[in-house]
Structure 1
Amino acid sequence: MNRKIGWRQCMRELLKFVRPYKGKFLVGLGAIVLATGLYAINPTIEGAVTTQLAHDAAGILEGVTGARVHFDLVFRILLILGLCYLMRALSQLVSAFFLTNAIQQIMHDLRNALQKKIQRLPVRYFDDHAFGDVLSCVTNDVDTLSNALQQTLAKVLTGVLTFVLAVIMMFRINVVMTLVALLIIPLTYLITRTFVKRSQKLFDLQQKTVGELNGTITELYGGFNEILLYNKQEAAVEKFQDVNERMGKAAFRAQFVSSLISPCISLVTYLIIGASAVLGCIFVIQGSIQVGNLQAFIRYIWQINDPLSQVSQLSAQVQSAFSAMGRIFTLLSEEEEEQKGKVALELSKVKGNVTFDHVRFGYQDDKILMDDVSFEVRQGQTVALVGPTGAGKTTLMNLLLRFYDVQGGSIQIDGVDVRDMDREKLRELFSLVLQDTWLFSGSIYENIRYGRLGARKDEVIEAAKMANVHHFIRTLSHGYDSMINEEGNNISQGEKQLLTIARAILKDPQILILDEATSSVDTRLERLLQEAMHRVMKGRTSFVIAHRLSTIRDADLILVIENGNIVEQGTHESLLEKKGVYERLYHSQFSGQSVDESWNAE
């Protein structure tokens, strides 16, 4: 995430999520105000007890007639003090309940907003941002913000109110002593500003390295089998240690610089209290203030110190929260794909004619991958895409699906530019069976029905039969209710491929995109896969990233792709007659091979 929005904009965006729960916030904040007000008058009530006892003791010592300790007055004051303590505790309980409820609902909405945002981001965004970094934003950054709001919001508000009320009560006791005590404010401000200015950048770096660490962990554990296969455990450990060490250093520097605030503020506070106590004693001796007021005044200095000390204690958390909030709302402010189109598409009327008309595209504006790509596919035809790895076969399909938009020319379906269609409606026309199969944690039935969530069970079973996977499912102990684990590794690669074909059949799309990857499965499953793919392709416009000679020979149109451009196109026989690129590839790859052997041109 290279761009980061400012904290003011972050606060405006956060308030949008707070607004639906303002009622709960107002109740919670009102309870905090009541609790803080009660806390502010406690020293005065306590001082009243001390003043009464001192007055009674002085009368007794001076031999004043009828002098005694007025326990009735003392107990009355103590009863008021006890009620204040009880009401404050109840107010804190109410505030904790309502604020916690509101904050957790805000975090719930924020996570939902991030998830919806990710669904609307262009594929190009994920080309430039590591998956682990995005994952860290949705998990770690939201948790950091949640913890900060949960633990610091009430403390900050309480601290501000405590400070204001304590200063007011101090002025009521003695103006001179208050002015001396308030020297703590500019000194604390200078200390805090000095250290925060240096630590905020360190906290930004800390949050960034957390994202890098998540990305590294995701990468390492996602390729765990390959790491073991190639004996790269040491290299993996070294890579993790490098990121972990950088994160540790960043976290240490940020936390250490932030932690210096507390001892510096404490030193200032003790010096101010000492000066105020000496000055107060002089005023008591002079009779300017009562001894109970001096006691209350010292307590109020501590009440001022509490929020100032909390600034240092909460500094690390608050700064981490601002860094996390910046990352969250930076992601939420990213430019989205335009979802709506100009043309209302009726799926039932789409035939599946596809035209690439002088298409020009590059992943970077200054680096063109496809310069002038043109071809036409009629309804029901099968198109084979052949060419070396990196030639642009997958890119061609990504453009058709509008994962990327062309920079020149147009792609049309039944004469309508795909850029004029709703993205959602456009993608409903397609089914994909890719080499990298994707199944989610759930039952086999749920994974097949993912192709069309409204499908009946008999339709799911019929799709499984057409995909040659029904028999396999019946052999499982729980049949269609058998669970696929999170990694999808409790069934074989070929069986996963058959399930994705069943899913594609169930969707009943107008256009198919197939990555015909069967080289990693045994002969029996390979035959089943081929039969299933022929069934799903029948009568539909199909694009096949071809690995097999049989698919290429049977294709209605073969596109030979090199360096992003189509260098030749035609049928198998016509391309051989041209004696060009395809003919050379054919003889170099298939000489002496049967039509059932693989062409490793991918």
Structure 2
Amino acid sequence: MLNSFQKIWPFFKPYRFKLILSIVCVVMTVITNVLEPFVLGLAITEITANVLAMAQGQAGAGLNYRYILMILLLYFLRGLINQLGTYGSNYYVTEAVQAMTRDLRDAIMSKINRLPVSYFDRRQFGDMLGRFTNDVEAIANAAQQAIIQVVNAILSILFVAIMMFILQWQLALIVLISMPLSYAVARAIVKVSQPHFKKQANILGKLNGFVQESLTGFNVIKLFGHEDSSETEFRQITQELFDTGFKASFLSSLMMPLVSVVSHLAYLAVALVGGLLTIAGRLTIGNLQAFTQYVWQVNQPIQMITQLSAMVQSATAAIDRVMEVLEAEEETQAYDQELQQALSGQVSFKDVAFSYSPDKPLIEDFSVEVEPGQTVAIVGPTGAGKTTLINLLMRFYDVNEGSIEVDGIDIRSLSRQEYRKQFGMVLQDAWLYEGSIQDNLRFGNLDASDQDIVAAAKATNVDHFIRTLPGGYHMHMNQESSNISLGQKQLLTIARALLSDPKILILDEATSSVDTRLELLIQKAMDKLMEGRTSFVIAHRLSTIQDADLILVMDQGHIIESGNHASLLAAQGFYYDLYNSQFTSAKD
């Protein structure tokens, strides 16, 4: 547990001065709390002694009102300092925790931008979202409440122990003996319950991932009538979360009653021994009263810590999950060579080999030369390695063997960020974010003027469509961009790519799910985008790549055929069969 909090300390360190001020205020609060029984004890001793003296008829016996008034003023001053300390401690710790939380979220976001694509391929988006939200919030809540209360508890025990030894050391020993017993009980329960809290955090991440996927694919679930199976799977996850959460909370809840048993035994021992000492005249009634209150002042911090146990253990599990992201291996960055000028678009694959897992080779001995301005179409069956080839070209993954060179430079020696700026991508799944159409287009070039945006829209045949929308370029698109059609989204992504003025294009053919008229419109826009640029096209409809300069036919990671459309048809090989099968199906 301490190791987990040591990991999060660097985020608190910049605000340590505020934490120190908060602790100073806690010290004020604790000292005034510890003085309360002692001050009251002075008044009680004075009153009881004078009452007994008056009852016995002693001459001159009577209450010392001046002395009692001084004690009351002292008690009032103690209470005022106590409240100021409580306010100050809460104020400064809140400032520090909220600033830490902001920095932690910023660090996670910054880290995510430096992680490789492979990291996200192995994880659910919902689980990653949970680390941003639930886990960070659990850390913030625990820090907000635990820092003050734990420091308060430790200082309370320390100062109360000092006061007890000042008043009566034999009774102080009784209380101190009970404290290691309470600690041993608490530690044993934490050791048993902590694994359940970690498991609970992981299942919660799994639940977030399932909900995110279900909401994203809600239309598909409705379409195939899988509502019942989706609900069943959700119930299984929530049942698992219920079982784990129950074990974690129940085991943690045992801490308080077991610790209280030890504290009550200590209280009984103090009451018995203290009563005997008072009868023997070795302890005043006021100090006996103070001692009994000190027993509870020791008990309360221990109970406070036990009550925080569940929250602290949840925060510990959350810290581990957050630090897993922050400590993950980042994309390797190389700056051996800087781009002195924009790329011309010449690309070479030289004996490239790659696999996602060592025991399953995917691409082997892949070589091809692409000249600047050429259009290269990549075709083949599902799983042939088409998308993997693009991932390697974009450096989402690095090759295992061989090399990929642009303009004669090994791409592994270039900054990923600078290298990727040379690319434009139009994918089959058009991605737009919530915001205005103008802002989405400007995403391709943040320095683009409004005139540049309109020019790109006109060049890609999307300007007229935009102007027919309510608000035109300022129309606000919703989170899923569902208030425009799929074809319209594709046209916008093409305009966005054109605005970025890339040297190399990657096109995952975007016309397979639109009608013929819109397909022609999108194809014209893509032709405009491809003018003078090296283009790699993942082709699904072979009719759209007949004008490609080079067609690569892939199967199981190998180029089995290459050439232009006419030469491949004349060879009557795999491409010939694939092409004819598409047109035969279309005619049928």
C-alpha offsets along residues 444-497 of structure 1, whole Å, 9 cap, x if unaligned?
000000000000000001111111111111011211110010111110000000
Aligned residue for 2:484, secondary structure, equals coil
C-alpha offsets along residues 407-454 of structure 1, whole Å, 9 cap, x if unaligned?
000001011011011000110010110011110000000000000000
Q: How does 1:437-516 map to 2 (within 5 A)?
A: 437-516=430-509
**Corresponding letter in the other structure for 1:59:** A
Identity %: 45
Alignment pair present for 1:329 and 2:323? yes
Alignment pair present for 1:409 and 2:367? no
C-alpha offsets along residues 365-418 of structure 1, whole Å, 9 cap, x if unaligned?
232111111111100000111111221111100000000000000001011011
In structure 2, the partner of 1:3 is: none
Q: Return the offset for 1:347.
A: 4.4
Q: How does 1:279-428 map to 2 (within 5 A)?
A: 279-348=273-342, 350-428=343-421
The 1:433/1:347 distance shift into structure 2, 3 A limit, reads farther
Once the two structures are overlaid, the 10-residue window that deviates more, 117-126 or 454-463, is 117-126
**Corresponding letter in the other structure for 2:129:** L
Alignment pair present for 1:559 and 2:552? yes
Aligned residues of 1:517 and 1:547 also touching (Cα < 8 A): no
Aligned residue for 1:409, secondary structure, equals strand
> 1:575 & 1:552 partners in 2: Cα distance?
12
Aligned residues of 2:569 and 2:575 also touching (Cα < 8 A): yes
Alignment pair present for 1:90 and 2:84? yes
**Corresponding letter in the other structure for 1:447:** N
> 1:544 & 1:9 partners in 2: Cα distance?
50
In structure 1, the partner of 2:236 is: 242
Once the two structures are overlaid, the 10-residue window that deviates more, 537-546 or 523-532, is 523-532
Aligned residue for 1:559, secondary structure, equals strand
Q: How does 1:167-206 map to 2 (within 5 A)?
A: 167-206=161-200
In structure 2, the partner of 1:111 is: 105
Aligned residue for 1:73, secondary structure, equals helix
In structure 1, the partner of 2:21 is: 27
Aligned residue for 1:543, secondary structure, equals strand
Aligned residue for 1:185, secondary structure, equals helix
> 1:156 & 1:334 partners in 2: Cα distance?
31
In structure 2, the partner of 1:124 is: 118
Q: Return the offset for 1:266.
A: 1.4
Q: How does 1:212-291 map to 2 (within 5 A)?
A: 212-291=206-285
Alignment pair present for 1:527 and 2:520? yes
Give structure 1 stretches of 5+ with no counterpart: 1-6, 598-602
Q: What RMSD in Å do the two structures reach over aligned CA positions?
A: 1.4
**Corresponding letter in the other structure for 1:246:** E
Aligned residues of 1:385 and 1:393 also touching (Cα < 8 A): yes
Q: Return the offset for 1:590.
A: 2.6
In structure 2, the partner of 1:71 is: 65
C-alpha offsets along residues 273-325 of structure 1, whole Å, 9 cap, x if unaligned?
11111111110110001000000111111110011101220110111111111
In structure 1, the partner of 2:541 is: 548
Aligned residue for 2:417, secondary structure, equals helix
Aligned residue for 1:120, secondary structure, equals coil
In structure 1, the partner of 2:156 is: 162
> 1:586 & 1:467 partners in 2: Cα distance?
28
Q: Return the offset for 1:572.
A: 1.2
Q: Return the offset for 1:33.
A: 1.2
> 1:332 & 1:78 partners in 2: Cα distance?
55
> 1:488 & 1:592 partners in 2: Cα distance?
33
Aligned residue for 1:182, secondary structure, equals helix
> 1:29 & 1:146 partners in 2: Cα distance?
18
Aligned residues of 2:512 and 2:541 also touching (Cα < 8 A): no
**Corresponding letter in the other structure for 1:110:** L
Q: Return the offset for 1:592.
A: 8.4
**Corresponding letter in the other structure for 1:212:** K
Aligned residue for 1:521, secondary structure, equals coil
Q: Return the offset for 1:149.
A: 0.1
In structure 2, the partner of 1:538 is: 531
Aligned residues of 1:40 and 1:165 also touching (Cα < 8 A): yes
Q: Return the offset for 1:593.
A: 5.9
Q: Return the offset for 1:239.
A: 1.0
Given candidates 404, 423, 431, the residue that maps to 1:430 is 423
Aligned residues of 2:542 and 2:579 also touching (Cα < 8 A): no
Aligned residues of 1:202 and 1:254 also touching (Cα < 8 A): yes
Aligned residue for 1:553, secondary structure, equals coil
Aligned residues of 1:341 and 1:419 also touching (Cα < 8 A): no
The 1:315/1:496 distance shift into structure 2, 3 A limit, reads same
> 2:580 & 2:181 partners in 1: Cα distance?
84
> 1:62 & 1:526 partners in 2: Cα distance?
111
> 1:502 & 1:589 partners in 2: Cα distance?
30
> 2:124 & 2:582 partners in 1: Cα distance?
37
Aligned residue for 2:545, secondary structure, equals helix
> 1:357 & 1:195 partners in 2: Cα distance?
60
**Corresponding letter in the other structure for 1:47:** G
The 1:498/1:235 distance shift into structure 2, 3 A limit, reads same
> 2:543 & 2:175 partners in 1: Cα distance?
90
> 1:20 & 1:467 partners in 2: Cα distance?
50
> 1:19 & 1:399 partners in 2: Cα distance?
40
Aligned residues of 1:339 and 1:423 also touching (Cα < 8 A): yes
The 1:213/1:347 distance shift into structure 2, 3 A limit, reads farther
C-alpha offsets along residues 499-548 of structure 1, whole Å, 9 cap, x if unaligned?
00010000000001011121322333222101100000111000111123
TM-score of the superposition, structure 1-length normalised?
0.96
Aligned residue for 1:404, secondary structure, equals coil
> 1:39 & 1:395 partners in 2: Cα distance?
67
**Corresponding letter in the other structure for 2:199:** L
**Corresponding letter in the other structure for 2:395:** R
Once the two structures are overlaid, the 10-residue window that deviates more, 176-185 or 368-377, is 176-185
In structure 2, the partner of 1:600 is: none
**Corresponding letter in the other structure for 1:565:** H
Alignment pair present for 1:56 and 2:50? yes
Aligned residues of 1:341 and 1:423 also touching (Cα < 8 A): no
**Corresponding letter in the other structure for 1:526:** E
Aligned residue for 2:59, secondary structure, equals coil
TM-score of the superposition, structure 2-length normalised?
0.98
> 2:431 & 2:511 partners in 1: Cα distance?
16
C-alpha offsets along residues 189-209 of structure 1, whole Å, 9 cap, x if unaligned?
221122111100110111011
Aligned residue for 2:187, secondary structure, equals helix
Q: Return the offset for 1:589.
A: 2.4
Q: What count of residue pairs does the alignment treat as equivalent?
A: 588
Aligned residues of 1:442 and 1:483 also touching (Cα < 8 A): yes
Aligned residues of 2:178 and 2:263 also touching (Cα < 8 A): yes
Aligned residues of 1:384 and 1:551 also touching (Cα < 8 A): no
> 1:565 & 1:289 partners in 2: Cα distance?
94
Give structure 2 stretches of 5+ with no counterpart: none
Aligned residue for 1:402, secondary structure, equals coil
